[in-house]
Chain A
Amino acid sequence: MSSPATNQISVKLVLLGEAAVGKSSLVLRFVSNDFEENKEPTIGAAFLTQRCTIGDKYIKFEIWDTAGQERFANLTPLYYRNAQAALVVYDITKPASFIKARHWVKELHEQASKNIIIALVGNKYDLTLDSETGEEIEGSRKVSLEEGQNLAEEENLLFFESSAKTGYNVNEMFTTIGEKIPEAIAKKDNTRDQSGGNRIDLNAPAENDIHDSSCSC
């Protein structure tokens, strides 16, 4: 049996967007196909991982959700560092969240690595539809489809409207990102030496046979 580990790709994906637009809900939908109606604002989750197979690729998403830091747009450079993908989320019923999304896109272009794949996500699509008829509820949508598409086009972003509640387009956005990944890895940003061949995993100590036995502290 061939081991899937051989072509497993690790992808660091960061989430950005105004409070309550549904970032954590999108992750929850993707990671455990679940939705909570009254989700508490996020504190607590460091990052989640989710593995999926896309074609013949085996992708391990390492998903970084924002914590208290994004409130003042004071994310640490560490947050963006080596992120291969980002979801910039807004709420299509909240124009202010779209303005903030523009801000995050700009920030990503400045701070993140050049080849980062950014997806612009207009979430809460379900709120614009009448659940009985499937018709759009007049006046519910506050950010037009074109508005999002235009921004995505100008800034060279992937674009989705989604609903964490119904699951609409959630897997699609992750899959599309997953499909795009290898190209990005191949043409990796080389200004700083990314090689660092001797990365040490702090959680995997070596066999300790020389000095420890005699250490009595």
Chain B
Amino acid sequence: MAERRPSGINSRRPSVIPYLAGIEKPVLPSIPSQCDVLICGTGLVESILAAALAWQGSRVLHVDANPYYGDTCATLTIEQIKAWCASVNDGSSGFQGFSKAMLHIPYPHRLNSRDYGIDLSPRVLFAKSDLLSLLINSRVYRYLEFQSLSNFHTFENDTFGKMLSTKEEIFTDQSMTLASKRQLMKMMKFVLEYDLPENKEELETHMHEPFTDYVSNRFHLSSQQINELCYALGLAPKPDISTIQGLSRVRRYLVSFNIYGNFPTLYSKYGGPGEISQGFCRSAAVAGATYKLDCALKSFDPDTKTATFEDGSKVKISEKVVCSPSQAPEGSRNVPERNYEITRLITIVEKSCKEWFAEGESAALVVFPPKSLPSNNQFPVQSIIMGSGTGCCPKDQCVWYLSTIEQGERGRRDLESALKKMEESILRESEDGGFDVELTESDVAVQANGGISVINSVKLGKSFKGFVPKEKLTYLLKLMFTQYTSVAPFGVVSNAVFEKAEENDHPGNGPDLKVIYSSMPSTEISYDGVVTEARLLYSKIVGSDDDFFDVDFEDDEDYEHGPSSESAIVDDAEEFQPEMAFEL
């Protein structure tokens, strides 16, 4: 072998070496001329679909009209939020997936754009859920970081309470009578067993009656407890849910407990659906999908099966085109109706809000049941609180995401009303250590498992009514907007939505003939429904979803070579554990 020596030292410098000055943009390659499936929009559903198709062997071209990943569920920096608002309000594009974006940034110089990751549609992940299983099966979880979220607060009678949801909490609570504890435990037991044969009759009789009636008649729970079950544990987005809906929602919470620990939900660090989308896009890319951002679909010709992009490039498609409504070509005629509204209010506040988080955590949920606010809200207001530990904002700040399915002006009023209550609450709780209520020994509940003393958090909010805060809460950003979706609250995405474009195929009918549209993000605050929709789309393309992410990743595992590989390294254990199989 040639002797190794530093290059260039003795050798002549050939004169052909050009001097490469400046930072020029290299010439970009062109998109492939052919693919099996074109997907427009890198939202979560589309990204899961892209990865599933790519691993199944389809040649996928995945584009997004935006210069960032995530589309309608993106995680954005402050600068991106500004641009996003402008594009929502200018309305020049035909797409009406969002409206009335109002942005207020009182102290622009205090916000360093890149320090923030703001979700357009934030969600929490139940520990026992289809998305979580998919994250594991697909190995996408390895690209992400997850943290726990335990605290589900309910706002009632002008106070914040924290739902007692574990046996330990119920038994150690001082405010409940023994009889009511028993009833609550009975209720929880039934939630876990309602589909056993012996409960079949009972369930069928009451299935369609209002959940609230059923629970109060059968288990004699207080209206506050019922609200907590329904709106906090169940995260119901609307009142008057049926018994079966209520039971399944509360069950979702209970079965998620103790999967990873003493908490029901998790969230992905640095951003929610926007971050998880990126994980699936990376997975798709690893499986061979081609990605291009800043690439908008102009038209699709179903006869020649050719898609044309705004920059003039073309691709021949052998299978299907899937498109998010947000990325529909101009002049589209087949985008599904979006009949449901979500009103969202996102704020960044200058407070850590750690008072709301469980020990060691950085996030919480706060729920305002119907009629609990001065605005006399008809629908619940749900809010996700993300502290700086979530990687979404700097230290001593916090992002609050409020949302409701109440429409228009009423929705905005409800959110403002809820915001005010949250402001009062956090000022009160964080002031001078938080208490001007006398604490008695009974306020300190000792948890059976850990032996940690926790202050009964209902007490924290007490005497709220007369409270006048000494300080004011500083808002660094306030963003309100309306989002539209074709997914009904509680509704599972149905095939009918995707069929519409196909029915509508009279020749000459728009630049989006035969394009399959996905839905906009649903009103659901958890990730439920996302995988279902991706599977439906997958079946529409592949024919069935039997091999949806049916991938054997064996070869992709860690290479273990070299002298050090046999050492016992503690954190290796996790890597060789068989995949955890979740029942759904």
Contacts and interface: CB of A to CB of B under 8 A. Distances in A.
B503 interface: no
A8 B569 contact: yes
Interface stretch (B287-295, B322-330, B478-486, B493-501): B287-295
A102 B293 contact: no
Given A125-B7, A129-B2, A103 B26 contact: yes
B197 to A, nearest CB: 9
A176 to B, nearest CB: 15
A49 B559 contact: yes
A166 B7 CA distance: 14
B24 interface: yes
B7 A145 contact: yes
Given A125-B7, A216-B195, A103 B261 contact: no
30 contacts: A3-B569, A5-B570, A19-B29, A46-B283, A48-B558, A52-B562, A67-B288, A68-B286, A68-B290, A69-B281, A72-B291, A72-B293, A78-B278, A78-B279, A99-B26, A103-B23, A103-B26, A143-B20, A144-B13, A191-B112, A192-B388, A192-B393, A196-B391, A198-B147, A199-B147, A204-B260, A205-B260, A206-B260, A211-B192, A212-B255
Given A46-B283, A147-B20, A191-B112, A100 B26 contact: yes
Contact of A193 (B17, B139, B395): B395
A78 B275 contact: yes
Contacts of A48: 558-559
A165 B166 CA distance: 60
Going nearest first, the 9 A-B pairs with the smallest beta carbon separation are: A145-B8, A134-B2, A67-B285, A136-B11, A76-B278, A43-B288, A193-B388, A5-B570, A100-B26
A101 to B, nearest CB: 9
Given A79-B282, A191-B115, A202-B146, A99 B577 contact: no
B142 interface: yes
Contacts of B395: 190, 193
B236 to A, nearest CB: 20
Contact of A147 (B19, B259, B281): B19
A194 B7 contact: no
In this complex, the interface size class of chain A, counting residues with CB under 8 Å from chain B, is 35 or more
A135 B3 CA distance: 9
Interface residues of B, number: 102
Interface centre among A68, A205, A212 (most CB of B within 10 A): A68
Nearest to B248: A217
A214 B568 contact: no
Contact of B564 (A58, A68, A206, A210): A58
A193 B283 CA distance: 27
B136 interface: yes
Interface in A138-179: 138-147, 161, 166, 168
A73 B13 CA distance: 32
A48 B559 CA distance: 6
A117 B142 CA distance: 22
B83 interface: no
B16 interface: yes
B258 interface: yes
A18 interface: yes
Interface in A35-61: 43-53, 58, 60
Given A4-B567, A146-B8, A195-B389, A214 B135 contact: no
Contacts of B13: 144
Interface in B287-333: 287-293
A136 B7 CA distance: 8
Nearest to A18: B26
B281 A49 contact: no
Nearest to B17: A144
Contacts, number: 256
B218 interface: no
B143 A44 contact: no
B465 to A, nearest CB: 34
Interface string A86-109: 000000000110111011001000
Interface in B97-151: 112, 115, 132, 135-136, 139, 141-148
Interface in B557-584: 558-559, 561-562, 564-565, 567-571, 574-575, 577, 579-580, 583-584
B1 interface: yes
Nearest to B573: A204
Nearest to A59: B564
Contacts of A5: 568-571
Nearest to B580: A205
Contacts of B143: 46, 78
Nearest to B166: A210
B4 interface: yes
Given A49-B558, A202-B136, A69 B285 contact: yes
B25 interface: yes
B115 A136 contact: no
A172 to B, nearest CB: 11
Contact of A206 (B69, B139, B261): B261
Interface centre among A50, A52, A136, A205 (most CB of B within 10 A): A205
A186 interface: no
Contact of A50 (B167, B290, B291, B559): B559
Contacts of A193: 362, 388-389, 391, 394-395
B146 A216 contact: no
A214 to B, nearest CB: 5
Contact of B196 (A98, A138, A199, A216): A216
Interface string B135-173: 110010111111110000000000000000011000000
A51 B135 CA distance: 26
Given A74-B293, A95-B20, A44 B556 contact: yes
